[in-house]
Amino acid sequence: MAPRSPFNPVETISLQSPSFSVDFSPKIGPSSDPEGPVKRWYHYLPLCAAILLILAPHPSWLYILVDYHLKTIHRPALFVTHLVVTYTLTFMIFSSLIVCVARDPGPVMLDDSKNGRGEEEDETLLTPHEDYSGPGRWCRKCWGPKPERTHHCSVCGRCVLKMDHHCPWLGGKCIGHRTYPAFLHFLLCITLLAIYIAVVCTFALWHAFGDPFAMNELMPLHAIFVTFFAVVFALVIGSFYGYHLYLVLINQTTIENLSPFLILRHLPPLPRTGHDLSDPPLEPELSRSQRHLVRDAHGYIRLYDVGWRRNFRQVFGWSHPYGWVATAMVWRADVRDGRTFPRNPKSDELLARLATELVKDDRR
């Protein structure tokens, strides 16, 4: 009789008896339940609030356009221009919002390159050409493969390819590999619309205070409300967009930027003797001085920064020199598969230096 093969965690082991049957087979990967826990109606309240905030100033905005541009200064062409710009940007906002809410942010098991196999077959098969034995390459929570830059969302109960963050304002969905360009487009269009409305309303207010009897007395009240609303949106959403634009420039996700100890899993193998650190080191076992070393190194070790031009092309998905024009008008998907990413050639040297400093500090 041939010897039994060693235990394979993917195999199904069943214990059957007259009274019970236990199935110890793990559910491989998050694709078996891509949406995670079932969402209740109250999970969508932040999304409804976000939509309400976007639409709230529009009645007052239309009142300003009619009363000021048509009845006061009698410029119908300018009135039509403002309408076209406003509702073009509004359409772009909601198109990006729909993509963020409706599209899966990045199913780990989805791989269209597997000889044309469908999603149902991919749910039970691992990617044959990838090694998941390294640190952090296998998720112990959802029991599935964890490709590079993939993170497990505790709220959604699943892993997401190139996860950026979990956003309750977008229907409690994660922003990941397949929705990050649409999310950036969403923030940009809101910022542009807020700035545009604030500028137009400022000119209307300037005219109202200069000649208060030339227009309806309610128009300045609407203009003050809309201007305040637009300025707040431009500052808040614009700052948030600026932060994400910075992340695109250095090719980092929000999780990677705010979690300096993630670089520990990328350290080269440590010496076997002369220290008490794990390989790779774990955050809880680091001393205070070692933690400072990691935090300082996190500021200049950018694993995936391959130059700002290539970073933008990688995130927004254009391949020709003027691809940014189409990206500015409509959201674009990342052209990569979300599993592998080019590395900064200087990062290996910096990681080796950090590993050496951590071992030296541990020997003291």
Q: Note the pLDDT tens digit of each residue in 247-273.
A: 999 999 999 999 999 999 899 988 877
Considering the chain, what percentage of its residues have pLDDT values greater than 70?
Answer: 77
Most confident of 2-16, 273-287, 325-339: 273-287
Per-residue pLDDT tens over the stretch 88-111:
999 999 999 999 999 999 888 644
Q: What local confidence, expressed as pLDDT, does residue 360 receive?
A: 86
Question: Is the pLDDT score of 6 beyond 70?
Answer: no
Q: What angle do CA 243, 248, 249 make, to 5 degrees?
A: 95
pLDDT at 309: 87
pLDDT for residue 336 is more than 80:
no
Give the span between the Cα atoms of 272 and 270, in whole angstroms: 6
Q: Which residues contact 20 (CB under 8 A, 6 or more apart)?
A: none
Q: Give the Å distances, CA to CA, from 348 to 60, 303, 341.
A: 56, 8, 15
Has residue 30 got a pLDDT over 50? no
Cα–Cα distance for residue pair 137/152, rounded to 1 Å: 11
Q: Which of 87-96, 111-120, 175-184 has the lowest mean pLDDT?
A: 111-120
Q: How far is CA 242 from CA 170, 184, 238, in A?
A: 19, 10, 6
pLDDT at 132: 54
Q: Whole-angstrom distance between the N-terminal and C-terminal Cα of the chain?
A: 56
Please state the pTM of the whole predicted model: 0.81
Q: C-alpha angle 79/85/86, rounded to 5°? A: 85
Q: Which amino acid is at 21?
A: S
**Amino acid letter, residue 33:** D
Residue 134 is predicted with a pLDDT of 58
* Burial profile 220-232: b = 16 or more Cβ within 10 angstroms, e = fewer: bebbebbbebbbe
Of 88 and 38, the one with more pLDDT: 88
Predicted confidence at residue 189, as pLDDT, reads: 95
